[in-house]
A and B are shown apart, each in its own frame.
Chain A
Amino acid sequence: MTETPARAAPFASLLGICKSFAATCAVDDVSIDIYEGQVLALLGENGAGKSTLMKLLYGVHEPDRGKIIVDGPGENPISSPLDAMRLGIGMVFQNFALIPALSVRENLLLAWPDTPVVIKKIKPQNDPVLKKLYEIAPQIDPFQKVGSLSVGEQQLVELCKILNLSTRLVILDEPTSVLTPAEAERLHGFVRSLAENGVGVVFITHKFSDVKACADRIAIMRRGQLIEDVEAQSIDHDGLVRAVMGTDATSRADPPGPPKSDQPRLQIRGLSAHSRNEVLEDINLNIASGEIFAIAGVSGNGQSLLAEVVAGVHQLDDGDVLLDGTSIARHASAQIMKPHVAYIPEAPRINGCVEDLDLGLNLALRDLSTVGTKPLANVRAELEKFDVRPPDPAKKAGDLSGGNLQKLVIARELADYGKAVLAVYPTMGLDIEATKAVYARIFSMAAAGAAVLWISEELDDMLESAHTIAVMRSGHIVEQFKNSHHLTRQKIGALMTGAHDA
């Protein structure tokens, strides 16, 4: 990390900022300076107020109290994102503002202030709107539809959009939570080069790996307050954990003991299925009672389809899925399926909740098809048990942040001990404490006899806790291992990408 030189004046200063939503105080008297050419990592747990603070700077919300001064002493009030953009502040949100049906170039033209009235066809190499794209992501074809890009690529397009506005400060809201490890590494490098070119970067995150990889300065928030604001080299990993959590927390949940029997509980036999963009061919897996069976793979290789077939959401073409010998798969699309396994789906905002409905009803979804059920009596207690913030049963699911929505789905699916758990990226968007709690819960369910099918990209966690690890690529299980210390991250990583074939 380079030595931060003494700077003349901060690009933006936030002074004594307070912001409340209803009764909750999201940001409580925070003062912070932001400089150009510096990467500021804004660290904290889910719901600590990081995103809110930055949305105040970007003009999405207006502060209740306090003052935001941008670019010197002159009055530069920010009352909307438009003002912020004019002052050279750009923000990349967790949900991108791209139009999937339009091409990359068209999306960039939409946000570009110099877009001519008549758009001429010019060679892409000479097209000024694509200049930034060629600098940061030459691999992206500007005429491809945005909808067909991977999440990581979409993020780069969104970033290009913002850099096209001659931006002096870029705010990234948990940018790596949707990225694969390789994509995250590329983003880290890119953030560094932005800072070296004199652009300020605020990197909102709860992953320590992000902080280590690219931060110059670290600001830590906890429950709406700024706890720490230090140079990156002056704080070590333990110090970070202490500051974020407020306690000395150990990092991981204890992995469960080996399964007691080999008797398969969840069986996948000769399974074939297809969806619009994924195919599964002849998948055979046996998961014993108490076994934690992890499937590693680069996302998009059939894992999400496999999960939906096992959960009985997607129809299969051939084969079967058996739970204790009984079929739980959907054999025809019109079949009515009861939920048999505890299912934590990928992208819970789309697949695991009803955004327009309140938390109470969202928690009661599993009992919905049984006529005569009442809504849960102690919704608040359930929400508090899994630390969903805020634990307000009347709040709409769509108003929760990504991490809290994940906790909501987990609270519903893992509330009771079941026969099988199907967890797809279960810790996506969760902070350390919540991650630990989720793992602990899944492991205790395994210890009580549940068969656990765990689809993830967190190789380190898998190597630490899973009993069996299978690698999936292009709709096939390419290799399956009993977990042991001989198994390494590199070996699995090579299988995931198919590098060993070369």
Chain B
Amino acid sequence: MKAWISSVGAPTALTCAAFTLVTAVFFISIGQPAIKTIADMMVFAVGDSYSLSETLVKTIPIMMCALATAIPGRLGLISVGAEGQLHVGAIFGTAVMLVLPESFGLLGLCLVLVAAAIGGTLFGFIPGVLRVRLGINETITTLVMNYIGVLFVSALVYGPWRDPANQGWPATKSFPEDLILPFFFGTRVHAGLVIAIGIAVLLHLQFHRGTWSRQIKVLSGNRKVGETFGLNYAFTALLLMCLGGAVAGLAGIFEASAIQGRLQPGLSAGFGLTGFLVAWLSRHEPLMIVPVSFLVAGLISAGDALQLFAKIPAASSTILQGLLFATALAVPGLIKRYRGRYGN
């Protein structure tokens, strides 16, 4: 037992086991057959090609918001601004779509994506600059700026950007096909998945190899020592805040163009916050974020499906997410304590 619990895989295995257990207890407590419901959940998450594709669709924004959180997180900055950055990215991308003439081809798509990244960058830059110049806590500013981003989308689509052809429905006109990323095999899974995984891999390499990764490690471990040895904390912090914003901004335009087809309210189903939690669960490791966001996305889509087919309350999905995060934080903590107790 002692030897086994010290192994590398033990925390993950035990976390999964513990989560299954609390999920079962939760279903029993709301009067559902535990084992059958859990089996149903598995089916609804990854059981057939449609479920799998819907899970992947949700994985993309969650993964990108998690990466957006993890990038400044490597320096010890706690940004909760992915939600706002996602919305502003969508606004900037949509703006380009609105001014471009019809059928602009691949160049148009690139412009839309770049504009979205710039929008997100802007919403990372502002809290970043406030942090490094004035010392204002980035967690508070990013949190507050989320409201600006989300509500600005509403202001635009209820106002100047509302398409008259929608007969009052608050939304912009639809994205033309050539400004949307290609889809895989006729599903709603789009090329954003490849981009997101690519970003994760690139970040992994950047954060684990080379001089820059060491500089970030030193600055996050001890800012004063880093600055003693000629490192620029302010620039690094600003750069990471901007990069994080850019990734979240891309997620925003993916949602608006590929999934919803237009800019409209309800662009994000809380992806920013979910991504924040995924990033912390993955300890800001880009390669951990990939499977963890898939897992969480599966949980969300299964929860949605159960609500439709098994008459389970709508809040269940959120409760299960909460349980997952609580177990994933508690179990490794307990293991660490157990190991420490026996002088490993």
Contact = CB atoms under 8 A, between A and B. Distances in A.
Interface stretch (A35-43, A90-98, A169-177, A349-357): A349-357
Contact of A337 (B225, B227, B234, B343): B227
Interface in B215-234: 215, 217-218, 221-222, 224-232, 234
A338 B230 contact: yes
Contact of B231 (A351, A353, A368): A368
A351 B214 contact: no
Contact of B218 (A311, A361, A370, A375): A361
A73 interface: no
Interface string A329-346: 000001011110001010
Given A353-B222, A373-B211, A361 B229 contact: no
Nearest to A366: B229
Interface string A104-122: 0000000000000000000
A361 B230 CA distance: 15
Contacts of B228: 311-313, 337, 339, 343, 345, 351
A364 B215 CA distance: 11
Nearest to A20: B343
Given A343-B228, A354-B225, A371 B211 contact: yes
Contacts, number: 67
A192 B227 CA distance: 45
A247 interface: no
Nearest to B230: A369
B234 A355 contact: no
Contacts of B218: 354, 357, 361, 365, 368
B343 A368 contact: no
Given A61-B343, A361-B217, A373-B211, A336 B224 contact: no
B221 A355 contact: yes
Contacts of A366: 229
A359 to B, nearest CB: 13
Given A61-B343, A339-B229, A368 B222 contact: no
Q: How large is the interface on A (under 10, 10 to 19, 20 to 34, 35 or more residues)?
A: 20 to 34
Nearest to A358: B217
B contact residues, range: 10 to 19
Nearest to A370: B211
A62 interface: yes
A372 interface: yes
A334 B218 CA distance: 18
Interface string B183-221: 000000000000000000000000000010011011001
B224 to A, nearest CB: 7
A365 B211 contact: no
Given A361-B214, A368-B211, A372-B211, A355 B229 contact: no
Contacts of B221: 354-357
B40 to A, nearest CB: 44
Contacts of B227: 313, 337
* Max chain B C-beta neighbours (<10 A), residue from A353, A369, A372: A369
B209 to A, nearest CB: 11
A368 B230 contact: yes
A354 B222 contact: yes
A336 B225 contact: no
A350 B226 CA distance: 11
Among B211, B218, B225, B226, the one with the most A-chain Cβ atoms within 10 Å of its Cβ is B225
Nearest to B217: A357
In the complex, which of the residues B218, B226, B234 has the most CB atoms of chain A within 10 Å of its own CB atom?
Answer: B218
B22 to A, nearest CB: 29
Contact of B224 (A351, A357, A369): A351
B237 to A, nearest CB: 12
- In the A-B complex, the 6 residue pairs with the smallest Cβ-Cβ separation, listed nearest first, are A369-B230, A354-B221, A338-B230, A356-B221, A354-B222, A365-B229
Interface of A: 21, 61-62, 311-313, 334, 336-339, 343, 345, 350-357, 361, 364-366, 368-373, 375
15 contacts: A311-B228, A334-B234, A336-B230, A338-B230, A339-B228, A345-B228, A352-B225, A354-B226, A356-B221, A366-B229, A368-B214, A368-B218, A368-B229, A368-B230, A369-B230
Given A336-B230, A361-B217, A368-B215, 13 more contacts: A313-B228, A334-B234, A338-B230, A339-B229, A343-B228, A352-B225, A354-B217, A364-B214, A366-B229, A368-B230, A369-B230, A369-B231, A375-B214
